C-alpha cells in the first residue's frame, strides 16, 4: 500500500478546498488560528511514517485528550471506573446536562464532557502530581518531551467554561466527583489544552492499533482494554456524528474542536489530520473528508 502517494493526493484535494467550515471561536486562542492550515500524518504497523501538509504544526488537541486520559485511568485503576461511567453512545451532546440529570449523575460514556470530567476526577485522585504526571504519560506515549500545555488556552477555558462548571457541579451533587470542582476542572482544562502536531498524535495513538503496546515497545493496556477504548471511539468519538463517521470512514477515532482528528485501523495504521474549520456538528470538515478519502483509496475499514 503506497500510503505516501495516497496522502499526497488527499493533501492536493484538501489544501485547495474552499469549503472549510468555521473555526471554533468561543475562546480567542482558538479563533485566531489560520483556517487555511491542513496536515496529515500516518504511521503504519511497521512504524513507517508518512505525512503531507502542516503535519508538524502544533494545535490544541482538546477533546482528543479524552481518549488519552481514559487510557491512563484504565491503566491505573482498571474496570472499577465503570461503576461511575456508562459505555453507551450518547445520542445528543447538545443537551448533555439533561442526559446527566436523567441518568442520575452517571455519564453516558467517557468521551462526552461529563464523562471526561469523571475521568479527570479519577486521575486527580490517583496521580501524585496530576497535571505533570499526565503530561509525562502523553510525552512517553509520543516519545517526545517537547509536548506541553498551552497555558493561555487552559486559562481561557477556565474563564469561560461555564457549561463544564455546571456539569462538574451536577456530578458533585450526585456524589460522582470525589475532589473539589476547581481542582478537577483545573486538571481537565489543562488536559484539553495540550498541543500536539499530527505527527505526534499519530505516534501517540499507535498503541490503540497495536494491542496496547506503544511504538517504543512498552505495553500500557491489555487486549480487552484496547478493544473497549476502540469500541468507545467508534460509537462515541464524534459527538452527534458518530454514526455518520462510522459509515463514511469506518474507523475508530476521536475529534477535537481544535480541528484535529485521530483514527486507526487495528493492525494496520494510525492516522492524524488537522484542519481548524469545523462542520456544523463540531468535527473538522476537511479532516472528515481526508479520512473518507483514505479509507476509500485503501479500500480498508473495519467493516
| Residues near a second copy (CB under 8 A) | 86-92, 95, 97-99, 101-102, 108-109, 162-163, 165-167, 169-170, 172-173, 181, 223, 226-228, 230-232, 234-236, 240-244, 246-247, 250, 252, 266, 299, 301-303
Q: Is residue 135 a contact partner of residue 129, using CB atoms and an 8 Å limit?
A: no
What is the per-residue burial (b if ≥16 Cβ within 10 Å, else e) of 282-296? bbbbbbbbbbbbbbe
Nearer to a second copy, 196 or 257 (CB): 257
Q: What are phi and psi of 272, to 5 degrees?
A: -130, 140
Burial of 155 (C-beta count, 10 Å sphere; 0-12/13-18/19+): middle
Closest CB 166 distance from a second copy, rounded Å: 4
Task: Considering the complex, state which of residue 37 and residue 96 has its C-beta at the smaller distance from a second copy.
Answer: 96
DSSP one-letter code for 40: E
Nearest distance from residue 81's CB to a second copy, in Å?
13
Question: How many residues appear in the chain?
Answer: 303
Which CB sits closer to a second copy, 146 or 224? 224
Burial class (CB in 10 A: 0-12, 13-18, 19+), 170: middle
What's the closest the beta carbon of residue 97 comes to a second copy, in angstroms? 5
Least separation in angstroms between residue 175's CB and a second copy is 10
Asked whether the beta carbons of 237 and 231 are under 8 A apart, the reply is no
Min CB(66)–a second copy separation in Å: 15
Identity of the residue, 126 or 173, whose beta carbon is nearer to a second copy in the bound complex: 173
Among 284, 290, 254, smallest CA distance to 35 is for 284
Cβ distance to a second copy smaller for residue 133 or 292: 292
Closer to a second copy by Cβ: residue 5 or 163: 163
**Minimum CB separation from a second copy for residue 98, in Å?**
4
Amino acid at each position: 500500500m503506497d500510503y505516501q502517494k495516497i496522502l499526497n493526493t488527499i493533501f492536493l484535494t484538501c489544501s485547495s478546498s474552499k469549503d472549510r467550515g468555521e473555526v471554533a471561536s468561543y475562546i480567542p486562542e482558538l479563533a485566531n488560528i489560520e483556517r487555511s492550515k491542513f496536515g496529515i500524518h500516518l504511521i503504519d504497523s511497521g512504524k513507517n511514517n508518512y505525512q503531507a501538509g502542516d503535519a508538524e504544526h502544533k494545535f490544541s488537541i482538546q477533546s482528543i485528550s479524552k481518549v488519552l486520559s481514559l487510557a491512563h485511568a484504565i491503566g491505573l485503576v482498571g474496570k472499577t471506573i465503570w461503576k461511575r461511567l456508562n459505555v453507551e453512545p450518547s445520542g445528543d451532546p447538545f443537551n448533555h446536562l439533561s442526559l446527566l440529570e436523567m441518568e442520575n449523575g452517571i455519564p453516558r460514556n467517557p468521551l462526552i464532557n461529563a464523562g471526561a470530567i469523571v475521568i479527570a476526577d479519577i486521575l486527580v485522585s490517583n496521580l501524585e502530581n496530576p497535571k505533570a504526571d499526565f503530561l509525562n504519560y502523553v510525552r512517553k506515549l509520543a516519545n517526545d518531551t517537547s509536548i506541553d500545555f498551552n497555558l493561555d488556552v487552559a486559562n481561557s477555558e477556565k474563564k469561560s467554561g461555564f457549561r463544564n462548571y455546571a456539569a462538574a457541579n451536577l456530578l458533585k451533587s450526585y456524589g460522582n466527583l470525589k475532589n473539589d470542582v476547581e481542582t478537577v476542572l483545573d486538571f481537565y482544562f489543562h488536559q484539553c489544552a495540550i498541543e500536539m502536531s499530527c505527527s505526534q498524535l499519530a505516534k501517540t495513538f499507535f498503541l490503540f492499533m497495536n494491542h496496547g503496546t506503544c511504538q517504543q515497545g512498552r505495553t500500557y493496556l491489555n487486549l480487552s482494554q484496547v478493544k473497549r477504548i476502540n469500541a468507545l471511539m467508534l460509537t462515541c468519538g464524534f459527538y452527534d456524528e458518530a454514526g455518520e463517521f462510522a459509515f463514511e470512514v469506518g474507523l475508530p477515532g476521536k475529534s477535537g474542536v481544535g480541528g484535529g482528528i485521530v483514527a486507526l485501523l487495528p493492525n494496520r495504521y494510525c492516522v492524524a489530520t488537522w484542519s481548524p474549520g469545523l462542520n456544523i456538528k463540531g468535527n473538522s470538515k476537511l479532516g472528515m473528508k481526508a479520512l473518507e478519502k483514505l479509507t476509500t483509496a485503501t479500500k480498508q475499514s473495519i467493516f
